[in-house]
Structure 1
Amino acid sequence: MSDRPVSQAGAGLAFVVRTLVVAASLWVATVLVTGVDLGSGSTALRVGTLLGVALLFGVVNAVVKPIVATLGCPLYVLTLGLFALVVNALMFMLTGWLAGLLNLPFVVDGFWSAFWGAIIVAIVSFFLHLVIPDRYDAR
């Protein structure tokens, strides 16, 4: 890893790569988890929905999650970090709810669907970030 600052173009490319990774991870979650649904429509509509939900998911994780994590700090300590799974599920549910408000056909049907969906998204994102070269995925 280099100590050089990431250029604007490099930062933009990294943002696009991260968004595509999350979109792909969300798609896998819709395939594997009953209760996480992408709706019907053309392939272009479904890809657009995935990209929109990926951006929304990024905003939720960047804005809301740190607040919830700070307020829930005692629960993280008490449960030895397992509370993070609940927080991730709640962030996934919030993303589904916000997607509905924005008329994006992405549905998360209940806590357990959100729980398993969030786990699938985390695992798939982890493995995709492993195979993407660092020069395209500067974080």
Structure 2
Amino acid sequence: MKLLAKWLLSAVALLAVAHLYSGVDVQSFGSALIAAFVIGLLNVFLRPVLVVLTLPVTVVTLGLFLFVINALMFWSAAGILDGFHVRGFGAALIGSLIYTVLGMVINSALDRLFSK
């Protein structure tokens, strides 16, 4: 149940990102659901590999390179899907930052809700 709620709220967060920032476009709630799913899959399977491969750069930049990896995951999802568009890497960076903050709020709320 928690996973389903997180997926639905992540789609809402993507719609919020598109509303707050003009560099990200989401055509519909269905597109947001699919995009949230694809971003989740990329974060589960591809992100850990990229984090390990770029570990030296991440250490040298004191972890700031992780923002670049998050932006690449966000931008990659937009490249794969039709109803989700990001206007360049800068827009992916800003969009992924907003999406990450909203995701942290969602996780915190769901942890409190489902811990009872």
CA distance in 2, matches of 1:96, 1:55: 12
- The answer to whether the Cα contact below 8 Å between 2:42 and 2:73 also exists between their aligned partners in 1 is yes
Could you state the TM-score of these two structures normalised by the residue count of structure 2?
0.91
Could you state the TM-score of these two structures normalised by the residue count of structure 1?
0.77
**Percent identity, aligned pairs only?**
30
Q: State the 1:109 CA deviation.
A: 1.0
Aligned equivalent of 1:10: none
Aligned equivalent of 2:20: 32
Query: What is the count of residue pairs matched by the alignment?
Result: 115
Aligned equivalent of 1:125: 103
Which runs of at least 4 in structure 1 moved beyond 3 Å after TM superposition? Answer: 133-137
Aligned equivalent of 1:70: 52
Unmatched 5+ stretches in structure 2:
none
Q: State the 1:49 CA deviation.
A: 0.9
State whether structure 2 residue 49 is matched by structure 1 residue 49. no
- The answer to whether the Cα contact below 8 Å between 2:6 and 2:106 also exists between their aligned partners in 1 is no
Aligned equivalent of 1:98: 80
CA distance in 1, matches of 2:113, 2:23: 36
CA distance in 1, matches of 2:3, 2:110: 13
Q: State the 1:135 CA deviation.
A: 5.2
| SS class of match (2:2) | helix
Give the superposed CA RMSD: 1.5
Instruction: Give the letter for the 2:23 counterpart.
Output: G
CA distance in 2, matches of 1:114, 1:16: 25
Structure with the greater alpha carbon radius of gyration: 1
Q: State the 1:20 CA deviation.
A: 1.5
Aligned equivalent of 1:42: none
